[in-house]
């Protein structure tokens, strides 16, 4: 495919409370064995994009560890390249650490790339999509920019703070707004853009000259009149992990097989790094139902309607319900968890009961000991 993949980072409103204190959003563990970035990156490589830039906003270690040179994403190691681009500059304030500033810092790598098109997409939107069709339609439509979107009738509850699109009957975008949860229905922008590389560079430079606080969506918004910007609707599962409650809700939704089928499609593998964990042992005292369980766990307790990641230990008498347990956590005997997110390597030992709600799950910090 004749496109450079650019994985941009989440907008500044995204705040996956607690989880993103320790790692950038793309590197957050997801659905037992994945990281959030696996989805967009697999979409790109499955679409035949062999050159991918991953922009990292902060805390790059997790991302370097997880992505490596990208072989596990099926990137041809000779003809393709996965680049992790970190700002390499300390910004005077958080607000200056936006996508445009990072593109500008790495402009030479974008200019050097020989692909005529770029496909820009952030990792915190989770969906499954063949970009080949998007690029083809983009070329045929003679649009300057194609913007991916999804229609939702749950805009009051979900996709809060995401961009919304207003389109005319030819799907030409006339306005980019903000979802403040006022209306039920909305076309939510996936912040994913297809355009020629030259136009991309031009817009990035223009944005940078206009304001050092500008994001790409801002310069796009400014250009809606002079450029033809068209929407491309996608169907199937779409989620945006921009808050802890959405992280919780989306994970739980995907633990249902019927919902998961809208994301995991035959012939469209979602790649991730292997951990070479052994299969999971379900002991004689275990009782597990309605859950998603990764490898490497030892389960002796009760697990219902939960997602359990790799190498988790759940001791006898523990009861885990409606919870997400991240890799390496230890849940001691008789602990009772309901609506809890337990971060990596946390140890729950003496506390006997933790209870949250779907809207406000209890979060147990990484390596915490309680």
Partner 1 sequence: MRANNMAAMILAGGRGSRLHELTKKVAKPAVHFGGKYRIIDFPLSNCANSGISTVGVLTQYESVLLNAYVAKDQFWGLDTNNGGVYVLTPRETDDKGLDVFRGTADAITQNIDFLDSINPEYVLILSGDHIYKMNYEKMLAYHQRKQADATIAVLQVTLEEATRFGIMNCDKDDMIEEFEEKPAHPKSNLASMGIYIFNYKTLRKYLLQDDKNPDSSHDFGKDIIPTYLNDHRRLAAYRFKGYWKDVGTVDSLWESNMDLLESNNQLDLGDQGWKIYTENINSLPTYIGDEAKINNAYITQGSIVLGEVKNSVIGTGAEIGKGAKVVDSVIQPGAKIGEGAKVTRCIVADNVEVAPGAVLGSSKSEHIDLVAKKYAE
Chain residues that interact with partner 1, rule: CB under 8 A: 31-33, 71-72, 255, 257, 260, 264, 269-272, 274, 276-284, 286-296, 298, 307
Task: Determine which helix (DSSP H) or strand (DSSP E) holds 203, and give its type and residue range.
Answer: helix 197-210
- CA–CA separation, 363 and 72 (whole Å): 31
Q: Are 184 and 152 spatial neighbours (Cβ–Cβ below 8 Å)?
A: no
Q: Shortest distance, CB of residue 239 to partner 1, whole angstroms?
A: 16
Per-residue DSSP letters for 66-126?
A: HHTTSGGGT--TTT-EEEEEE--S--SSGGG-SHHHHHHHTHHHHHH---SEEEEEESSEE
Q: Shortest distance, CB of residue 294 to partner 1, whole angstroms?
A: 4
Nearer to partner 1, 153 or 285 (CB): 285
Q: Shortest distance, CB of residue 274 to partner 1, whole angstroms?
A: 4
Q: Shortest distance, CB of residue 167 to partner 1, whole angstroms?
A: 35
- CA–CA separation, 335 and 59 (whole Å): 33
Q: Shortest distance, CB of residue 161 to partner 1, whole angstroms?
A: 30
Nearer to partner 1, 38 or 191 (CB): 38
- Can you name the residues that pair with 337 across neighbouring β-strands? 320, 354
- CA–CA separation, 344 and 19 (whole Å): 9
Residue found under tokens 């749950």: 154
Nearer to partner 1, 136 or 275 (CB): 275
Structure tokens at 217: 């969506």
Nearer to partner 1, 163 or 300 (CB): 300
Q: Categorise residue 108: left if φ over 0, alpha if ψ from -120 to 50, beta otherwise.
A: alpha
Nearer to partner 1, 217 or 315 (CB): 315
Nearer to partner 1, 241 or 270 (CB): 270
Q: Shortest distance, CB of residue 328 to partner 1, whole angstroms?
A: 10
Q: Shortest distance, CB of residue 204 to partner 1, whole angstroms?
A: 34
Q: Are 90 and 105 spatial neighbours (Cβ–Cβ below 8 Å)?
A: no
**SS3 of residue 328 by DSSP:** coil
């Amino acid at each position: 495919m004749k496109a450079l993949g650019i994985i941009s980072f989440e907008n500044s409103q995204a705040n996956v409370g607690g989880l993103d204190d320790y790692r950038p959003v793309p590197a957050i563990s997801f659905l037992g064995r994945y990281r959030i970035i696996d989805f967009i990156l697999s979409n790109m490589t499955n679409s035949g994009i062999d050159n991918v830039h991953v922009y990292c906003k902060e805390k790059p270690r997790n991302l370097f560890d997880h992505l490596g040179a990208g072989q596990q994403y099926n990137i041809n190691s000779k003809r393709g390249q996965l680049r992790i681009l970190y700002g390499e500059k300390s910004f005077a304030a958080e607000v200056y650490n936006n996508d445009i500033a990072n593109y500008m810092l790495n402009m030479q790598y974008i200019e050097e790339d020989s692909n005529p098109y770029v496909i820009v997409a952030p990792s915190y939107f989770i969906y499954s999509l063949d970009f080949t069709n998007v690029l083809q339609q983009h070329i045929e439509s003679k649009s300057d920019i194609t913007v991916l979107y999804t229609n939702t009738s749950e805009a009051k509850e979900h996709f809060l703070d995401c961009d919304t699109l207003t389109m005319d009957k030819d799907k030409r975008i006339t306005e980019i707004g903000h979802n403040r949860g006022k209306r039920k229905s909305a076309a939510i922008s996936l912040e994913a853009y297809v355009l020629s590389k030259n136009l991309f560079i031009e817009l990035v430079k223009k944005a940078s000259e206009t304001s050092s606080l500008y994001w790409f969506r801002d310069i796009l918004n400014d250009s809606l009149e002079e450029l033809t910007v068209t929407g491309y609707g996608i169907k199937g599962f779409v989620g945006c992990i921009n808050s802890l409650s959405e992280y919780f809700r989306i994970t739980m939704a995907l633990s249902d097989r019927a919902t998961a089928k809208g994301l995991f499609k035959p012939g469209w593998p979602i790649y991730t790094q292997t951990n070479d964990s052994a299969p999971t042992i379900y002991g004689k005292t275990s009782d597990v139902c309605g859950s998603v369980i990764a490898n490497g766990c030892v389960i002796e307790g009760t697990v219902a309607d939960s997602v359990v990641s790799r190498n988790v230990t759940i001791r006898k008498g523990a009861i885990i319900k409606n919870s997400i347990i991240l890799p390496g956590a230890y849940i001691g005997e008789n602990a009772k968890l309901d609506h809890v997110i337990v971060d990596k390597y946390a140890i729950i030992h003496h506390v006997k009961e933790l209870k949250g709600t779907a809207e406000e799950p209890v979060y147990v910090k990484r390596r915490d000991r309680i």
